[in-house]
A and B are shown apart, each in its own frame.
Chain A
Amino acid sequence: MLAELAFFATVAAYAAASGLFFTYLARPDGSPRAAKAAPRVLAYATILHAGYVYLASILANVCPVKSIHFVASIAALLASALYLVLRRRFSIDAVGAFVAPVALTFVLGARFVGRPDQPVGGGFLALHVTVNVLGDALFLLASGAAVLYLVEERRLKQKRAASVFGRLPPLDALDRVEHRLLLMGFPLLTLGIVTGAAWAHRIENGSAAEGARALFAFGTWIVFASVLVMRAALGWRGRRAAYGTIAGFIFAVAVLVVYLVRGASGGST
């Protein structure tokens, strides 16, 4: 009952935070009140979310990273916690406009996937899930920065600069934070793929979903690797890096979706 209450409060808080972030970005005057309230509401949402995950996992007597039900939810929780920690340091307040609605989608999506008390695998799998979830959280934030970068870059190129003044973070800051988040997420992704491959090798069930997931996972790795290599070698920053980051994130989400859908359909691990 308490867990249910926490769930709905989390959803409401994420929705409110999303609304406030959009108001802040969409209103012509920048709505200073919304700008101030949005990160605060997102912080409440994150606390409620953590409370919900804690209560629900206690209730189901399962470690959250060992349950399909919690995976997407935890990725969102980590992303929004990371945002709250990094937003001042990198002055990326506006990225919240991406984090809040995506977190809302993940929390709602996870609700319909699997049951909380449906644990999977052993300790090795827990490591695999943990690094992947952390990596996804970082990629989520990075692609948030990438989306904002593209919006702002377009406005500046089209000389509609007045609409972004003081509202969106500086372009270079977005590019830099996106790059750093990728640098942090990439080793986690690599580790996730290595552990995933080892685990898949062990069970060798060779299902179509298994194949698709591996394919998307390698796709994610290749896209992010190319973004990082091209940036280092050829100076591909800004727009190209942003498109690459978003493409990589779409692959990462595809992995998650395959994982969740398969989990929901009750397939064994």
Chain B
Amino acid sequence: MIVVVGLSHREAPLHVRERLAVDGEAVEALLRELVASSEVSEALCISTCNRIEVYAASNSKTQADTAKAARRVEKALDDLARKNGASGVVPYLKTYVEGEAVRHIFRVASSLDSLVVGEPQILGQVKSAYETAKTVGSVGQFLERAMSRALHVAKRVRTETAIGEGQVSIASVAVDLARQIFGDLAGRSALLLGAGEMAEGAAKLLVKAGAKLEVVNRSPERAAILAREYDGVARAWEELESALVSADVVVASTAAKHFVLTRAMTAKAMKARRGRSLFFIDIAVPRDVEPQVNELDNVYVYDIDNLSNVVADSMRGRKAEADRAESLVEHEANNFEGWAESRGAAGTIAALRTKVRSSLVGELEKSLAGRLRHLGDADKKAMNAMIEAAVNKLLHVPISRIKASAGEPNGERLVEAIRQLFDLSEFPSEVEAAGDASSEPAEASSVPTLAQRETARR
């Protein structure tokens, strides 16, 4: 059973999310720790500036075990925050289970849960989280299926709805804001502090608009490379305060765990600037610019949430497309649930019955059309009853055993063995076959009994 535990821009403000900021290594360690535990069998972690979420699967289908798995993930995330020197994230964590969890994963991948609905970056982030989990070896059949379906849904949403059209990027909004403050940006000075991907994007647009670029980075080599790339000037980290005096726009995206630009530091710079406006674009999580800096006269600080909100505000009229995308996600989530159900004991029993019955009925039909052509209706009816009885008798013991072991660790193995032995993987359940005709073989899964066929023929 799949569970999702985590927090996003919906539940947690930026100052909470930044407590859980993790790098690639920390994600891998988290995944290893989770799958090593007895409660969690599969795990995957999505970490972006807007969310950190763990998608996990537990071995068992019982509610108690799912709750245990969720608690285990909660604990792991709380430990992570503590390692970052923070605490108090647990009240913000949100948990989704079963169908809700799958729906959530699909919505995230399709960018329906993003702050800016329809933004394209999330799909890449989901893909790379999936790749990381695969490398670590923390995904199994459930998450693998869920993730590949999530990517499929995201692709459908992108191609079948206009949700991603006319997208405005965070970087372009940041530059629009700079224009709203300064007017023409030609000859203005932009300071690039640290170098995230999005910050580079913003710096590129600022340079294109005519701004001169200065780069300050903890690593002088990196600063030099960036300065060369954008025809700017690299300055030493120690010169940050003086760089603040000459800059008009500051794009901050360092990996620092604490504020790099404080109120006191900026107030000092503003004095030297004689009140000239200063605009901070803070794309770092955790943030680089102390929020109180925004209180200073003629200083404007926009963090990642502020920028995303501006983007979301400036894109109206997306509701209809979002609704279409939501119904697509709903449809796909139902299909997934059908599949998940079929992987369980009940689904396997139904598939087994259908498979055995359809084989026998198929053989009987052949005979009735050939050597047994002379049989009358009463005989045919008797043959049909005989087949039903044979199916029931043949499957009585296996079915009883599957039922008896359902919910136990052994049960999963038994179900899997039956599926393997009878090749039930090629036997999709009713829901899946009917609901996803476009991408799956549209095989009728519930084989009608002979009597039903006879009725239809008449």
Select the stretch in A157-165, A186-194, A209-217 that faces chain B.
A157-165
Contact A170 B182 (CB under 8 A): yes
Select the stretch in A219-227, A230-238, A253-261 that faces chain B.
A230-238
Indicate which residue in B180, B274, B294, B302 contacts A171 across the interface (CB closer than 8 Å).
B180
Contacting residues, chain A, for B277 (C-beta < 8 A): 171-172, 238
Contacting residues, chain A, for B182 (C-beta < 8 A): 170-172
Contact A156 B310 (CB under 8 A): no
Residue of A nearest to B275 (CB): A235
Contact B183 A170 (CB under 8 A): yes
Contact A156 B314 (CB under 8 A): no
With most chain A CB atoms within 10 A of its CB, the pick from B275, B277, B309, B310 is B275
Minimum CB–CB distance for B140 against chain A, Å:
43
B residues 256-286 near A (Cβ < 8 Å) are 271, 273-277
Contacting residues, chain B, for A240 (C-beta < 8 A): 297
Cα A168 to Cα B181 in complex, Å, equals: 10
Contact A172 B183 (CB under 8 A): yes
Q: Does A115 contact B (CB under 8 A)?
A: no
Contacting residues, chain A, for B275 (C-beta < 8 A): 234-238
Contacting residues, chain A, for B316 (C-beta < 8 A): 28
Contact string, A10-53, partner B, CB cutoff 8 A, digits 1/0? 00000000000000000010000000000000000000000000
Q: Does B37 contact A (CB under 8 A)?
A: no
Minimum CB–CB distance for B381 against chain A, Å:
72
Q: Does B238 contact A (CB under 8 A)?
A: no
Indicate which residue in B176, B177, B300, B309 contacts A157 across the interface (CB closer than 8 Å).
B300
Contact B313 A162 (CB under 8 A): yes
Minimum CB–CB distance for B167 against chain A, Å:
15
Minimum CB–CB distance for B244 against chain A, Å:
15
B residues 126-184 near A (Cβ < 8 Å) are 176-177, 179-183
Residue of A nearest to B176 (CB): A165
Residue of A nearest to B316 (CB): A28
Q: Does A239 contact B (CB under 8 A)?
A: yes
Interface residues of B (CB under 8 A from A): 176-177, 179-183, 271, 273-277, 294, 297-298, 300, 302, 306, 309-310, 313-314, 316
Interface residues of A (CB under 8 A from B): 28, 91, 152, 156-157, 159-165, 168-173, 234-240
10 A-B pairs, CB-CB below 8 angstroms? A157-B294, A159-B302, A162-B310, A170-B179, A170-B182, A170-B183, A171-B182, A171-B277, A237-B274, A237-B276
